[in-house]
Amino acid sequence: MASQISLLMENQPGALSRVIGLFSQRGYNIDSLSVAPTQDPTLSRLTMTTSESVEIIQQILKQLFKLIDVVMVQDLKASESISLEMALIKVSNKAEVISKIEKNYSSLDLNELDNTDEKTILRLIGETDILESLLVELKDDLVEVTRTGALGMTLGNISLETEEETKVIY
């Protein structure tokens, strides 16, 4: 199971390249990455998943926090959390695909977005693992796929954005 890390960083030019550079520089793998501004325009929130070992994750958390632009770092898997990903898939055999999804992947949230030139774009939202098994099963049906990478958030009171002090949340 991949680990998931959330962080808040200064919304500054170069900040994202420092985060990504850290991974290549130290030889860590990133499986997915998503980044967007937060309600506070000076901060961006970044979520990444990585399949490294527990020891390496500890190093990654500390190394990330060491970056001057990084304000908060959180190991989402250390607390109870929700993790979701969205995928857009383009298929030609809409009916067949939809029936496969409804039969075996009912936990995925499915929407039909467009139908042009006999190609259909479907939107799927759900857990990354389930999404990935579906994509394996649909391999021969897919014309095009794009995925957001997983987003995550811890349950209850823990929140990256309401912490007063800069820190690593394990």
Binding site for other proteins (CB under 8 A): 9-10, 13-14, 17-18, 21, 25, 55, 58-59, 62-63, 65-66, 68-71, 165-167
Residue nearer to other proteins on the CB measure, 66 or 119? 66
For residue 133, give Cα distances in angstroms to 19, 89, 107, 114. 29, 14, 12, 24
Residue nearer to other proteins on the CB measure, 7 or 97? 7
Residue nearer to other proteins on the CB measure, 14 or 156? 14
Shortest gap between Cβ of 57 and other proteins (angstroms)? 12
Shortest gap between Cβ of 70 and other proteins (angstroms)? 6
E strand or H helix that includes residue 127? none
Separation between Cα atoms, residue 58 and residue 54, nearest integer Å: 6
For residue 132, give Cα distances in angstroms to 47, 63, 127, 148, 150. 18, 29, 9, 13, 12
Shortest gap between Cβ of 98 and other proteins (angstroms)? 46
Shortest gap between Cβ of 153 and other proteins (angstroms)? 21
Angle between helices 94-104 and 128-137 in degrees, nearest 10:
140
Residue nearer to other proteins on the CB measure, 78 or 125? 78
Shortest gap between Cβ of 20 and other proteins (angstroms)? 10
Helix, strand, coil percent values for the chain (each to nearest 5): 30, 40, 30
Residue nearer to other proteins on the CB measure, 10 or 127? 10
- Structure-block tokens of residue 116: 């042009």
Rounded to the nearest 10°, the torsion over CA 50, 54, 58, 61 is 20
